Amino acid sequence: MLAELLNFFSDSYGPLRVFDYLSFRAIFATLTALLVSLILGPRFINKMQAIEVGQVIREKGPATHLSKKGTPTMGGTLILASIFISTILWGDLENRYLWVALGVTTLFGVLGWVDDLYKLRFESSKGLSP
């Protein structure tokens, strides 16, 4: 966590104490996640297109959805990476609720990843739906 590192270099009333404020860290965590997604996003999309990881469209669906065929999927991976990087940099890593939230986020991310993988492997637009 950046706040812990910077507190090591500041005195108890120095200007670096601003990193102790939750609002400051929340704003910079949001900006960090945005920057990570903007920097890694195009590379991630190009990689997904290169390995042909694209959206499967239902045959009986609306004709307007046919234009989405081949749209890269697995975008949740990029979102999770942004969340994790931002949280590790700006979060209070000694807070157990932070780890619970990251754990739940990871579980939902794994569920989404398995759903997308199922769609790709079986070429079905239903995913994990019954």
**pLDDT single digits (tens) 2-47:** 767 776 766 666 777 788 888 999 999 999 999 999 999 999 988 8
CA 38, chain centre distance (Å)? 12
In angstroms, what CA-CA distances link 58 with 29, 33, 93, 97, 104?
38, 33, 44, 41, 31
- Per 3-state DSSP, the chain is made up of helix, strand and coil in percentages (nearest 5) of 70, 0, 30
pLDDT tens across 44-85, in order?
A: 988 888 887 777 766 666 767 666 676 777 888 999 999 999
Degrees to nearest 5, angle at CA 74 with 69 and 78: 130
The answer to whether the CB of 74 falls within 8 A of the CB of 48 is yes
Kindly report whether the global pTM for this prediction surpasses the value 0.85.
no
Helix (H, G, I), strand (E, B) or coil at 52: coil
